[in-house]
């Protein structure tokens, strides 16, 4: 009887696909179109507000499970998952849960530098997967990687819901993402949306000084 119910539960789970994620993002108003200023300072016609998606544990868990499956299939099983605050905190926790390893997060200090706080540590030689909600340019991911590598850890990969770079981020480790999102990005001085006088929105969580 137990094996019957276990079989029923496992076979009834839908297959997770990029199309599934895109539809869920749209349903949650997490995939936005317009004129946005990104955390990198660039402007874009597309913004992915992953927090609206990740507020739903029933959506976050299957997505993280698929990332965990892909990492295991590639032989990249970490000792620790690190999720940069803020966007990577929830994703990092859920991915760590799916992989059965500890999950911690980095955050910015008063000088704006990414660091480990709250008693979090990584040991020399530990294998790390960096968890992100969205990889936009790869800049912040590389910043976290440098911090961890400076502590003697080995970064295996970055795993994210969204890759806005279509695999073009300048990373020295594998980049796993569930959904590539094609989005135009512009330097503020060369932004056609600005020239069209479309109001710019800064929907992220970083303070204004991050864009100076």
Q: Binding site for 5-phospho-alpha-D-ribose 1-diphosphate, residues?
A: 108, 132-140
DSSP line for 128-196:
EEEEEEEESSSHHHHHHHHHHHHTT-EEEEEEEEEETTTT-S--SS-EEEEEE----EE-GGG-HHHHT
Q: Is-contact 206 37, C-beta < 8 A?
A: no
Binding positions for orotate are 136, 164
Cα–Cα dist 111/174, whole Å: 29
Binding positions are 108, 132-140, 164
Cα–Cα dist 86/88, whole Å: 6
């Amino acid at each position: 009887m137990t094996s019957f119910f276990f079989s029923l539960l496992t076979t009834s789970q839908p297959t997770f696909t990029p199309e599934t994620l895109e539809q869920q993002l749209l349903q949650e108003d997490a995939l936005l179109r317009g004129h946005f200023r990104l955390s990198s300072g660039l402007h874009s016609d597309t913004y992915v507000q992953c927090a609206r998606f990740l507020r739903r544990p029933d959506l976050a868990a299957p997505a993280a499970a698929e990332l965990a499956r892909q990492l295991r299939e590639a032989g990249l099983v970490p000792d620790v998952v690190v999720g940069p605050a803020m966007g990577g905190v929830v994703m990092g926790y859920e991915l760590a849960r799916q992989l059965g390893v500890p999950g911690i997060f980095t955050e910015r200090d008063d000088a704006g530098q990414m660091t480990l706080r709250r008693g979090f540590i990584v040991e020399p030689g530990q294998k790390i997967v960096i968890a992100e909600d969205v990889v936009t340019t790869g800049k912040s991911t590389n910043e976290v990687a440098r911090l961890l590598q400076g502590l003697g850890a080995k970064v295996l990969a970055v795993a994210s819901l969204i890759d806005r770079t279509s695999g073009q981020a300048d990373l020295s480790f594998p980049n796993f993402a569930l959904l590539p999102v094609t989005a135009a990005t512009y330097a503020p001085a060369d932004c056609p949306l600005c020239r069209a006088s479309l109001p710019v929105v800064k929907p992220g969580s970083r303070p204004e000084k991050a864009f100076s």
